[in-house]
Chain A
Amino acid sequence: MPTTSPAIRVSGLRKSYQQLAVLKGVDFEVARGSIFALLGSNGAGKTTVVRILSTLLKPDGGTASVHGFDVGSEPLRVRESISLTGQFAAVDEILTGRENLVMVGRLRRVGNARDVADELLARFGLADAGGRRVGTYSGGMRRRLDIAMSLIGDPPVIFLDEPTTGLDPEGRIEVWNEIQKLAGGGTTVLLTTQHLEEAEKLADRIAILHEGAIIVSGTLTDLRKLLPPAKVEYVERLPTLEEVFLSVIGKRA
């Protein structure tokens, strides 16, 4: 397996639920160590793609491989190479934050699960909350714990399914910072989102999934070229509500 091969390769992927064709031949590749955003409206099939790539769902047709392993024939190898976080992956609300991390550490057979847990709690600003039940956490804390759980065992590929859905602007920025640090450390990140701004801010490459197929894909610059060249106009730029919000509560984007 040459190291230059893509971290994720999806080709002709099809999936239907009864009569409803959700994926009608999806193709894309994600380079190692990059952040790839799968953009689409609700029901576009983003989650279906992630569920197939994380071996939770079998495709009707096409092939998909993660970290060089085929999801159909080597699912265990795929699971060793990935972590799933976000919309449909949960944290245990009855356990404390630390217990959640230790549990994942034991399941992933890291030698020193307790140390790893403490280190991650500190890194994600949860050191003080580590002994509290997750049921008492805010949405942002829960999502940070969720991402922290995904990092245990250093999987080379991480799937983040709508990682910032339901978060306030501060929480979203915290999560964005963590995602950028991940990719900076060489992890491949596949991110699904319906927030265009999120894709614009984070992704090296963006693919738009629409009605079961990828209709465009490329870097942000590539995608911008699809529209007529920008006209130069002078307009007074008003601050966005988000900038106002973050400024009055004393944070910076």
Chain B
Amino acid sequence: MATHVLGDSAVMLGRSIKHVSRSLDTIITVTIMPIAFLLLFRYVFGGAIQTGSSNYTNYLMPGVLLIAIASGISYTGFRLFNDMRSGIFERFHSMPIARSSVLWGHVLTSMVANAISVVVILLAGLGIGFRTSAGVLAWLAVAGVLAVFTLALTWLAIVAGLSASTPDGASAFSYPLIFLPFISSAFVPTETMPGPVRAFAENQPVTAIVNSIRALFDQQPVGNDIWTALAWCAGILIIAYAVAMAAYRRKIA
């Protein structure tokens, strides 16, 4: 069965990658919107924001990447919901395939599509002054943190896709996630925020993730931030996966 899981997941991946590449609004939202944020903060707000670092594009890049991923995974929930509603989910489940490949196809698609949009946004960032001295190891660490973050949010999207009753519900769960970087260290230093807001900002996952990616790009020591970031992602991943599996079993019972 193990080879079936891989082969079948590859077929499912190919299928939903076609869904991604054939829907223009997915591509626009997932790459153009974060690039617009990049330009907005770089050229409109950036001049008034004091971060203590000389290159504001470098400062804001990690947060923009997280926003891109959070909006990217909402389409994963939407695509899964459509599969459930249209009946193709049932067709797959009545076929002699590894059933888990139906969900894994969506998860892999999310990983690939988000990786592509991250690369596109980084390239756009280079065009407006993003610079990094990161070496191979630091890049690998950034890729790893972003991958774990994407995987954790993707399983959250799977929960939404499996349990939503409307297409809006299957994607609306991501709105708070897209908003979360704004109340973090992603765009402004948390020290400028009033007490309770600052306490929230400093203790939510985005701040730890943003700080570790920023440190990796700048060749600075990451300290404990990276472990806090990974712990958050792993925690969200484990819980989301467990809830998704429970929702899945309810659906196919």
Q: A56-B90, A92-B88 are in contact. Are A108 and B18 (CB under 8 A)?
A: no
Does B22 belong to the interface (CB within 8 Å)? yes
With the chains together, A93 CA to B7 CA distance in Å?
A: 22
Taking the closest CB of chain A, its distance from the CB of B147, in whole angstroms, is 26
Does A84 belong to the interface (CB within 8 Å)? yes
Does B253 belong to the interface (CB within 8 Å)? yes
CB of B19 within 8 A of CB of A82, answer no
Report chain A residues within 8 Å CB of B96.
Answer: 76, 79-80, 108
Taking the closest CB of chain A, its distance from the CB of B235, in whole angstroms, is 33
Which residue of chain B lies nearest to A76 when distances are taken between CB atoms in the complex? B96
CB of B94 within 8 A of CB of A94, answer no
| Residues of chain B in range 60-100 having any CB-CB distance to chain A below 8 Å | 86-88, 90-97
Taking the closest CB of chain A, its distance from the CB of B33, in whole angstroms, is 22
Does B224 belong to the interface (CB within 8 Å)? no
CB of A93 within 8 A of CB of B86, answer yes
Report chain A residues within 8 Å CB of B97.
Answer: 79, 107
Report chain A residues within 8 Å CB of B23.
Answer: 94
CB of A56 within 8 A of CB of B94, answer yes
Does A103 belong to the interface (CB within 8 Å)? yes
Does B48 belong to the interface (CB within 8 Å)? no
CB of A94 within 8 A of CB of B86, answer no
Interface size class of chain B, counting residues whose CB lies under 8 Å from the partner chain: 20 to 34
With the chains together, A187 CA to B103 CA distance in Å?
A: 31
Q: A106-B11, A107-B11, A108-B95 are in contact. Are A88 and B90 (CB under 8 A)?
A: yes
Report chain A residues within 8 Å CB of B252.
Answer: 56
From B22, B87, B95, give the contact of A79 (CB < 8 A). B95
Please indicate which of the listed interface residues B8, B18, B87, B253 has the most CB atoms of chain A within 10 Å of its own CB: B87
With the chains together, A87 CA to B14 CA distance in Å?
A: 26
Taking the closest CB of chain A, its distance from the CB of B56, in whole angstroms, is 40
CB of A103 within 8 A of CB of B15, answer yes
**Would you give the 0/1 interface string for A90-116, flagging 1 where the beta carbon is closer than 8 Å to chain B?**
111111000100011011110000000
CB of A79 within 8 A of CB of B94, answer yes
Does A194 belong to the interface (CB within 8 Å)? no
Does A216 belong to the interface (CB within 8 Å)? no
| Residues of chain A in range 67-85 having any CB-CB distance to chain B below 8 Å | 76, 79-80, 82-84
From B22, B90, B91, give the contact of A94 (CB < 8 A). B22
CB of A95 within 8 A of CB of B18, answer yes
Which residue of chain B lies nearest to A109 when distances are taken between CB atoms in the complex? B7
CB of A89 within 8 A of CB of B94, answer yes
Does A180 belong to the interface (CB within 8 Å)? no
Report chain A residues within 8 Å CB of B86.
Answer: 90, 93
Does A192 belong to the interface (CB within 8 Å)? no
Please indicate which of the listed interface residues B18, B22, B23, B91 has the most CB atoms of chain A within 10 Å of its own CB: B91
Q: A84-B94, A107-B11 are in contact. Are A89 and B87 (CB under 8 A)?
A: yes
Closest 8 CB pairs of A and B: A90-B87, A80-B96, A89-B91, A84-B94, A54-B94, A90-B88, A90-B86, A79-B96
Binding site for A on B (CB under 8 A): 7-8, 11, 14-15, 18-19, 22-23, 86-88, 90-97, 252-253
Given A84-B90, A87-B87, A103-B15, 4 more contacts at CB 8 Å?
A55-B93, A56-B90, A84-B91, A91-B88
6 A-B pairs with CB atoms under 8 Å apart are A58-B253, A76-B96, A82-B94, A84-B90, A91-B88, A103-B14
